[in-house]
Structure 1
Amino acid sequence: MTQSDDPVPTNVVGEQADRQPAGDADDNAATEPLATGAGSDRTGADAGADRQRDQRADEEADKETGEAEVEGPRRRARRERAERRAAQARATAIEEARREAKRRASGRLVNEPKPVARGVVRGLKMLLATVLLVIVGIGLALILYFTPAMSARNIVVVGTGVVTREEVLDAARVRPGTPLLQINTSQVADRVAAIRRVASARVQRQYPSALRITIVERVPVAVKDFPDGPHLFDRDGVDFATGPPPPALPYLDVADPGPNDPATKAALQVLTALRPEVAGQVGRIAAPSVASITLTLGDGRVVIWGTTDRTDEKAEKLAALLTQPGKTYDVSSPDLPTVK
């Protein structure tokens, strides 16, 4: 007998539909045709195997779904953190790209150094120029200090009268040919000023090869006799010479003449305050104390001066009084001068 080609009975198909889940039925409907019709090759055994596989797959899916429900929050947190980090990295990369594009647009590369400010460059140039000038100046100073080209080949002495040039040169002790920068002008001036008749001295370098020494000699304003002869005193009370006094030099009558003696300083202050026409008439000035100064004129008339207070006023009053006849002229009180 031959096998019948009739289609599968309707009750078999209905039984498969009852056993298969709704979702699986849909999937099977979408993926494979129903085992109906005359052209189907599936057997009943094959359909049963398919149902068993589907059941096992459903059980595994249900198991995984249960595990996912247990571990879901932790995995979700890790996933969210990873997503935040990735988003932050993307934002950083975008910002860096934006900055790089901005720098490139302004004509500078990312790693290109910033140009130095113009003021800084100018300051560095000035500093370098200053350093070079200092170095050059030091070099020139050293050359001038040691070179004989700038040496004292000529020594000029100015202001001599009674003091001779030889006295000045001997006191200066400057060796001809000494470089000018090696000469200590202050020390040379001090040595020259030590001469008794010299009141002050000044030493100057005159480049390229001269040294100038200028002196001011002491001028006698009074004389006093000593056992060894007359001693001359200048306006500061310095005893600077011994010898015959110049004509018409007044005699100084004090107990202990000297630059530190109050009576000497008071008497000389009066002498230097007198008008020239009056000072030439004074033959002697006596100062037993600073409060009792008297002058004796060459013709014998006496002037009572008193103290050194208001000396200039007294000198003016005396010049007017001497035009009047008399023997004693009292200007100790310049407000009430008298003539006797």
Structure 2
Amino acid sequence: MQAEPRPRGHRPREPLGAGRSLSGGRSGVGRPLIDPRFGERRMAARRHESRRRLRAVAIVAGVVTLGIGGVALLHSSVLAVGTVQVTGVSHTSRASVRSAAQLSRLMIDVEGSRAARRIERLPWVADARIERHWPSRVQISVVERQPVAVVSRRGAGAGTASGGGSNWTLVDRSARVLADVPQPPPGLVVLSGVGDPGAPGTRLEQGAGPALDAVVDLAPSLAQRVATVNAVGVGDLEMVLRPVPGAPEPIAPSGSPPAVTGHPGPRPAPVTSTGATVVLGGTDQLDAKLQALALLVNQADLAGVRSVDLRVPQSPALTRG
């Protein structure tokens, strides 16, 4: 019997187990199921990821180490406060400023705002600023208050500016008590009728406000002619002018030492009881009253004038006698 012709390209079927697997591929012979290059690439990617993770861990460890070292350095004696420089003081000692600041031993612990507030409690200090200059210098810049008036602690009478052994107190424009002095410094206005001042660093009584405002509002040229500002009654003010230049010298109060020609010591403050008394009344129209007074002082002949009534600033009244 003749065999049937086979189609071209036909291969005879091989039985199972003759080098073939159920999946249709060859087992143990021929081409492998996975290309080896894929495996190599996979291993290379795993090694790269491992190296990347190791670098990240090393960087984190380095940052933590540097942070711990930096904190330790900031809190070590290497960065301790070495020099404290104080500037801007003339009435306050540098030692008292350093003591009031209560600076920490380490630069990192210096709290500028709190130290400044403590320094500003000192009587003369208006403003304080703290600056750190690494590695070891702290600078304290101080702005001091300026006295504008003086008050007697013994209730000196109106129109009296003589020292006479009295105890006087300097005050600034905010009614802050600055310091005690043996006699009024030249050029400062005496406040009277404002109560007894407290200790340095405190403030005058609230009733001193109108009289102090009148002193602060004086023009520089007028302030040189005003000796005293008196608080009279409730809210009323009076001023006592210094003697007119060229007028006879006033008689010194009893008990004052006689003047010695050529004596190098301080000259007693001038007695102003012979100056004219200026009646201002209330603080209403205070600017207009002070302007009228400045006009009179600069242009009018006040020799022999005993009082000037400026309660109506548009119509000043002069009394001679």
Report TM bin, short chain.
0.5 to 0.7
Residue pairs, 1:180-195, within 5 angstroms: 180-195=107-122
Provide the residue aligned with 1:171 in structure 2: 100
Provide the residue aligned with 1:324 in structure 2: 300
Query: What SS does the aligned partner of 2:214 have?
Result: helix
Does the CA contact (< 8 Å) of 2:292 and 2:314 recur in 1?
no
Question: TM-score, normalized by length of structure 1?
Answer: 0.53
2:98 is the alignment partner of 1:159:
no
Structure 2 letter corresponding to 1:325: D
Structure 1 letter corresponding to 2:189: P
Provide the residue aligned with 1:256 in structure 2: 195
Structure 2 letter corresponding to 1:162: H
* Alpha carbons of structure 1 residues 309 and 140: separation in structure 2 relative to 1, 3 Å: farther
Residue pairs, 1:1-340, within 5 angstroms: 142=71, 145-174=74-103, 178-227=105-154, 229-244=167-182, 245-257=184-196, 259=203, 261-299=205-243, 300-322=275-297, 323-326=299-302, 327=305, 328-340=307-319
Deviation (angstroms), 1:317 = 2.6
Structure 1 letter corresponding to 2:301: P
Structure 2 letter corresponding to 1:312: D
* Alpha carbons of structure 1 residues 313 and 208: separation in structure 2 relative to 1, 3 Å: farther
Structure 1 letter corresponding to 2:295: A
Structure 1 window deviating more from structure 2 (137-146 vs 286-295): it is 137-146
Structure 2 letter corresponding to 1:332: R
CA-based RMSD of the aligned residues comes to 3.2
| Separation in structure 2 between the aligned mates of residue 277 and residue 198 of structure 1, nearest angstrom | 27
| Separation in structure 2 between the aligned mates of residue 310 and residue 335 of structure 1, nearest angstrom | 10
Does the CA contact (< 8 Å) of 2:151 and 2:192 recur in 1?
yes
Deviation (angstroms), 1:157 = 0.6
| Separation in structure 2 between the aligned mates of residue 213 and residue 282 of structure 1, nearest angstrom | 37
Question: TM-score, normalized by length of structure 2?
Answer: 0.55
| Separation in structure 2 between the aligned mates of residue 218 and residue 255 of structure 1, nearest angstrom | 20
Structure 2 letter corresponding to 1:191: R
Does the CA contact (< 8 Å) of 1:254 and 1:263 recur in 2?
no
* Alpha carbons of structure 1 residues 321 and 211: separation in structure 2 relative to 1, 3 Å: same
Provide the residue aligned with 1:9 in structure 2: none
| Separation in structure 2 between the aligned mates of residue 308 and residue 139 of structure 1, nearest angstrom | 66
Structure 1 letter corresponding to 2:229: I
Does the CA contact (< 8 Å) of 2:192 and 2:230 recur in 1?
yes
Does the CA contact (< 8 Å) of 1:144 and 1:179 recur in 2?
no
| Separation in structure 2 between the aligned mates of residue 251 and residue 261 of structure 1, nearest angstrom | 16
Larger radius of gyration between Structure 1 and Structure 2? 1
Does the CA contact (< 8 Å) of 2:229 and 2:240 recur in 1?
yes
Structure showing the higher helix proportion among its residues: 1
Count residues in correspondence. Answer: 206
Question: What residue ranges of structure 1 are gaps of 5+ in the alignment?
Answer: 1-134
* Alpha carbons of structure 1 residues 191 and 336: separation in structure 2 relative to 1, 3 Å: same
Does the CA contact (< 8 Å) of 2:289 and 2:311 recur in 1?
yes
Deviation (angstroms), 1:289 = 3.8
* Alpha carbons of structure 1 residues 305 and 204: separation in structure 2 relative to 1, 3 Å: farther
| Separation in structure 1 between the aligned mates of residue 70 and residue 284 of structure 2, nearest angstrom | 55
